[in-house]
């Protein structure tokens, strides 16, 4: 996991993000993933854990490119707007 996260950090994949949602990881706790991130970069955005995202039986799927609102106080994620390439509303 450390190697994968390091690649993403060096490639700039976390630049400009407003929040990060960690899903369920096999064989590693999300706190360890957070610790790896925090040791390699400044986390100036909220990082939350959702056990229903990832390779689990009862999972939710988050649409890529959707506009969302993450409320960390309420532990709530609202999908505000979704767009599908090639589809006209």
The mean pLDDT value of the chain amounts to 87
Confidence of residue 23 (pLDDT cuts 50, 70, 90): confident
For 63, the 3-state DSSP assignment is: coil
CB contact at 8 A, 21 and 48: yes
Whole-prediction pTM: 0.78
d(CA 25, CA 50): 10
Q: Could you state, in order of their start, the residue ranges of all structural domains in the chain?
A: 2-81
**pLDDT for residue 89 is more than 70:** no
How many residues are recorded in the chain? 89
Query: Each residue of 50-70: pLDDT tens digit?
Result: 888 877 888 888 888 888 899
14-2-28-75 Cα dihedral, nearest 10 degrees: -10
Query: Quick check: 86 pLDDT over 70?
Result: no
For residue 65, give both structure tokens.
């490119």
pLDDT-based confidence at residue 87 (cuts at 50, 70, 90): low
């Amino acid at each position: 996991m450390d190697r994968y996260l390091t690649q993403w950090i060096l490639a700039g994949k976390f630049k400009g993000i407003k929040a990060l949602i960690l899903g369920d990881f096999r064989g590693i706790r999300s706190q360890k993933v957070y610790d790896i991130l925090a040791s390699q970069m400044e986390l100036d955005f909220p990082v939350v854990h959702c056990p229903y995202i990832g390779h689990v039986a009862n999972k939710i799927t988050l649409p890529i490119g959707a506009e969302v609102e993450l409320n960390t106080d309420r532990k709530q994620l609202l999908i505000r707007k979704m767009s599908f390439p090639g589809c006209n509303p």
